[in-house]
Amino acid sequence: MTDRKATLSVGDKSIELPVYSGTVGPDVIDVRSLVQEGVFTYDPGFVSTAACESKITYIDGANGVLLHRGYPIEELAENSDYLEVCYLLLKGELPTAEENKKFHETIKNHTMLHDQMRNFFQGFRRDAHPMAIMCGVVGALSAFYHDQMDVTDVHQREITAHRLIAKMPTIAAWCYKYSIGQPFMYPRNDLSYSENFLQMMFGVPCEEYKPNPILAKAMDKIFILHADHEQNASTSTVRLAGSTGANPYACIASGIAALWGPAHGGANEAVLDMLAEIGDESNIEKFIAKAKDKDDPFRLMGFGHRVYKNFDPRAKVMAETAHEVLTELGLENDPLLRIAQRLEKIALEDEYFVKRKLYPNVDFYSGLILKAIGIPTSMFTVIFALSRTIGWFSHWNEMVSGDYRIGRPRQLYTGPTSRNYPKK
């Protein structure tokens, strides 16, 4: 940070505002004193407003950069696993071999759900959306751990982090099992984090589940690549809820609710809907022409990104993983997947898409992988929430660890002025 100043002119008044610099990224102008001058800033969507200071994740969308605690996402996806990334986001540094082993063991010891939580699932209709169930069940965790939710206690916050990381795969898998009427599968401590999730999703009590290492590796990469993404809508929601002093389970449930919105967490599901709409490879050229027509409402889903004005760094990892999974499962000739591969090729070569940098993003590939593994589209956002829990908690933990105040956005009021109630 520096002692530089910016000058804002409002009418005949000049207001000096501090200018701060982070370790990387754009400078920010501190506008907190504006309220004393009788004016506010107006920034719908908060696209030009930094609402917090953070040391967790940095994104440079123009250059396709995503760093977690300084480490490029590509290197983490190549060399790490999800639980090590969880440790990094929580603690700020990569664990030693001993710390990593202890952390993995700790998570394994927290994967079980309280047996009474089965009753929560049974209270939902069988056709309830899995996100509705997850939102309710995660919020209900506060009823089981209400004596260990002192947000000022570092030790209690750490235990809560372990519980959430460990129990989210169990909750997610049970949401799926409940929807299809199969028995709940309990976690197995002999399996890795991603293997355990897959066995709870696809295993049945009458036979032993043997995880496919290629699919387990792919799931682990999906978890890593969705672990955190800076101050997005759901993370900001968790921080705003947390600023009231709400318990961490309620805050994470608020993040799940925000992620449920199709503009946020539903992008990979929208990709598959688009592929189904195209229907056949023979229709691709027609839909490409529709995508290029600015007067046509059709849009290619999974191409380009609001943040990344270059190639999404996560997409490079997902592209390789997608091809590995499709080859492993022998699905190279699946009709929807063949459409997706043709679209990918066109987007990477067609001048229209290249010029506009409309490259395939992480949602394009993750949707293909999840479909190939056999996960229904209704579960896509649930898996996103499972992955993002560590990011949400890390940001919440960072906030409550320092000085913070309750969030209270201002507004530009355009309604009626004061008026009298009419006499009868």
- Mean per-residue pLDDT pooled into runs of 10, the chain (424 residues): 80 88 90 87 88 94 91 96 98 98 96 93 93 95 88 94 98 96 95 97 95 96 96 95 96 96 79 88 91 88 78 86 91 81 84 85 86 92 96 97 91 94 92
d(CA 230, CA 6): 26
Order of strands, sheet of 13-20, starting from the edge strand that comes earlier in the sequence: 4-10, 13-20, 28-29
Predicted pLDDT of residue 406: 94
d(CA 400, CA 154): 10
Judge contact between 393 and 164, C-beta under 8 A: yes
Q: Give the closest residue to 303 by CA, choosing from 343, 341, 263.
A: 343
What is the number of alpha carbons within 13 Å of residue 392 lying toward its C-beta? 30
For CA atoms 375, 378, 382, 388, give the dihedral sign. Answer: positive
Amino acid making up residue 96? T
Provide the terminal-to-terminal Cα distance of the chain, rounded to the nearest Å. Answer: 61
Q: Give the closest residue to 121 by CA, choosing from 164, 161, 181.
A: 181
* Residues composing the chain: 424
Phi first, then psi, for residue 301 (nearest 5°) are -80, 140
d(CA 343, CA 245): 47
Q: Give the closest residue to 291 by CA, choosing from 277, 310, 312, 280.
A: 277
Predicted pLDDT of residue 87: 98
According to the 3-state scheme, what is the secondary structure of the chain? CCCEEEEEEECCEEEEEEEECCCCCCCEECCHHHHHHCCCCCCHHHCCCCCCCCCCEEEEHHHCEEEECCEEHHHHHHHCCHHHHHHHHHHCCCCCHHHHHHHHHHHHCCCCCCHHHHHHHHCCCCCCCHHHHHHHHHHHHHHHCHHHCCCCCHHHHHHHHHHHHHHHHHHHHHHHHHHHCCCCCCCCCCCCHHHHHHHHHHCECCECCCCCHHHHHHHHHHHHHCCCCCCCHHHHHHHHHHCCCCCHHHHHHHHHHHHCCCCCCCHHHHHHHHHHHHCCHHHHHHHHHHHHCCCCCCCCCCECCCCCCCCCHHHHHHHHHHHHHHHHHCCCCCHHHHHHHHHHHHHHHCHHHHHCCCCECHHHHHHHHHHHHCCCHHHHHHHHHHHHHHHHHHHHHHHHHCCCCCCCCCCCCCCCCCCCCCCC
Name the catalytic one among 264, 323, 334, 350.
264
Phi first, then psi, for residue 8 (nearest 5°) are -110, 125
Is 146 assigned a catalytic role?
A: no
Residue 119: how many other CB atoms lie within 10 Å: 10
Is 264 assigned a catalytic role?
A: yes
Task: List, in order, residues 6 or more apart from 127 with CB less than 8 Å away.
Answer: 179
Tokens representing 61 are 């969308």
d(CA 52, CA 39): 20
Judge contact between 323 and 345, C-beta under 8 A: no
Order of strands, sheet of 65-68, starting from the edge strand that comes earlier in the sequence: 57-60, 65-68, 71-72
Predicted pLDDT of residue 1: 52
Residue labelled with tokens 């197995």: 188
